[in-house]
Amino acid sequence: MIDMTKKKRVVVKVGTSTLTHSTGLLNIRRVEQLVKTLADLQNAGHEIILVSSGAVGLGRAKLGIKERPKDTPTRQACAAVGQCELMYLYDNLFSEYSLNVAQLLLTKYILLEDRRINVQNALNRIIELGSIPIVNENDTVSIDELELEMGENDSLAANVAVLANADLLIIMSDIEGLFDKDPHKYDDAELIPVVPEITEEIKAIAGGAGSSLGTGGMATKIKAAEICKNGGIDLIIMNGRDPRHLYKVFENKPIGTLFTANGEV
Ligand SMILES: Nc1ncnc2c1ncn2[C@@H]1O[C@H](COP(=O)(O)OP(=O)(O)O)[C@@H](O)[C@H]1O
Ligand SMILES: N[C@@H](CCC(=O)OP(=O)(O)O)C(=O)O
């Protein structure tokens, strides 16, 4: 693991389950703690890039849609309404610490094309200007994830980490990290602290692609880990329940599951 006490460029990904209560409404305390911690880390000299989901969830709440919409256009409409709410929230909270935020709505296609250089240039300039880039999938343009109901912001975050030449990607989940089996099904599941290589066995315990209904589950996080590994970037999966635990990463303390890019144990 790289020395995180030195100034680093870090991508932090938060999912809907971290940002909202089970009611679907905003978890105000958690979002405030997240922003405060990220602002503090940015002030300490690190360069933070936030990849945030939550647009569909917040949009649904704002539009008063009780059930999760089944059709893609309604989900897209929720995302479009919710994205404004999300950025309004981040803008307000980060401005309390005199930090500017910048919205980047991306698709994986752009990141695979020649045009990725445009994104890279903009991203680097936003960071040079001391602002915090906040990235989400452009759900109006790219609907694959909305149709599959897969939390594919995990691999978007990994692609952004590679594009930004980041030192580390941190994925905040609803679980401590990768376990040797799904802890929601098995009481004796044990946390795996370090994954030096992404073997077939690791892929199998993560549940395999598409096996976890309704969410990306661990499979999309393993996909993200593979993208990071190819880009030479370490990845940590940790619980987003208490965002202040992010400080542990920057104090070189063990937390969650670390996927090492160089195969170190
Ligand atoms: N081997 C495993 N280790 C940890 N979690 C697993 C594993 N296999 C399946 N899961 C499931 O993946 C879930 C995390 O993915 P997901 O629901 O997409 O969360 P989030 O969107 O918060 O990141 C866990 O709550 C757990 O039920
Ligand atoms: N673009 C969607 C993100 C979908 C997604 O990846 O969600 P999650 O599994 O909560 O990270 C949104 O903002 O709602």
Q: Which of 63, 153, 212 for a ligand 2 pocket mutation test, highest count of atoms within 8 Å of Cβ? A: 153
Residue 207 near ligand 1, beta carbon < 6 Å: yes
For residue range 248-261, list pLDDT tens digits in order: 999 999 999 999 99
Residue 239 near ligand 1, beta carbon < 6 Å: no
Residue 48 near ligand 2, beta carbon < 6 Å: no
Mean pLDDT, residues 83-111: 95
Residue with the two structure tokens 């996080």:
221
The whole-number pLDDT of residue 216 equals 57
Residue with the two structure tokens 């598409």:
210
Residue 153 near ligand 2, beta carbon < 6 Å: yes
13 neighbors 136 (Cβ within 8 angstroms): no
For residue 19, report the phi and psi dihedrals to the nearest 5 degrees. Answer: -85, -20
Which pTM value belongs to this model? Answer: 0.95
Choose from 109-113, 129-133, 140-144 the range with maximum mean pLDDT: 129-133
Please report, for the chain, the start and end positions of each structural domain, with discontinuous segments joined by +.
9-259
> Which strand (E) or helix (H) includes residue 157?
helix 153-163
Q: Please give the distance, rounded to the nearest whole angstrom, from the Cα atom of residue 191 to the centre of ligand 1.
A: 12
Residue 13 near ligand 1, beta carbon < 6 Å: no
For residue range 186-244, list pLDDT tens digits in order: 999 999 999 999 999 999 998 754 333 335 579 999 999 999 999 999 999 999 999 99
Answer whether residue 112 shows pLDDT above 90. Answer: no
Fold observed for domain 9-259:
Carbamate kinase (3.40.1160)
Sheet of 101-106, strand order: 101-106, 132-137, 47-52, 9-14, 168-173, 234-239, 257-259, 194-195
Please tell me the residue having the least CA distance from ligand 1 atom 8: 182
| Residue ranges at the known binding site for substrate | 53, 139, 153
Please tell me the residue having the least CA distance from ligand 2 atom 6: 151
Question: Residues of the chain with pLDDT > 70: what percent?
Answer: 94
